[in-house]
Amino acid sequence: MRRVVCPGSFDPITNGHLDIIGRSARLYDEVTVAVLINVEKSSLFTVDERIDVLQTVTKEYPNVKVRKFHGLLVDFCRKNDIPAIVKGIRVVSDFDYELQMAQLNYRLSGVETLFMPTNPEYSFLSSSRVKEIARYGGDVSGLVPDLVHKLLIDRLRG
C-alpha cells in the first residue's frame, strides 16, 4: 500500500489544495488529508468544520481520508505508517520555505517530502487571500469549491 499525507490548515480548502489532493489520489493508493490543530492561530472555521468540508469535497476520491493532528507532522506520519508528505509548490518562495521543512522532517524521522507543482491556474491562490477577498465582498467563485463559497458568504457576511 503506497501512502502519502497532504497536510495543511485548510482554513478553508481552496481549488489549489483540491487539485493537489486529487492528483495525489491518482498516484497513490491512499491519501490522508491531515488538518493541523493549531491553538495558537485563530481560524475562520473550526477543525471539525474543516474536516466536514474536506470529506464532502473529496468524496469523489475513494482512496482519500481526512484526519486531524496536533504536534509534529512526522509523528503523525510514523503513527499512521505514512512514509511521505506531498506539498504543492506555487512559486519559488514556497520552495525556499518548504525545502528547509522537508530537510528537517527527513532529518527528524526519515519521512520523505514530495513536491508537486501547483496547477498554474491556482498559483496565486491561498486560503488567507480567499478569506480577505470574501470578507470585502469580492467574488471567490472558481477559486474554492462551491460548498466553501457558500460557507464563506454565510460566515463572513451572515
From candidates 44, 54, 73, 134, binder to ligand PNS by CB under 6 A: 73
Stretch that binds ligand PNS, among 1-9, 42-50, 115-123, 134-142 (CB under 6 A): 1-9
Retrieve residue 126's grid coordinates. 491561498
**How far, in Å, CA of 130 to CA of 121, rounded?**
15
Give residues with Cβ within 8 angstroms of 115, minimum separation 6. 87, 88, 89, 95, 98, 102
Q: End-to-end CA distance of the chain, in Å?
A: 44
Stretch that binds ligand PNS, among 56-64, 97-105, 131-139, 140-148 (CB under 6 A): 97-105
- Is 24 known to sit in a ligand binding site? no
Give residues with Cβ within 8 angstroms of 100, minimum separation 6. none
Active site residue 149: no
Kindly state the smallest distance separating residue 8's Cβ from ligand PNS, in Å: 3
Among residue numbers 43 through 72, which ones bind ligand PNS (CB under 6 A)? Answer: 72
Among residue numbers 116 through 155, which ones bind ligand PNS (CB under 6 A)? Answer: none
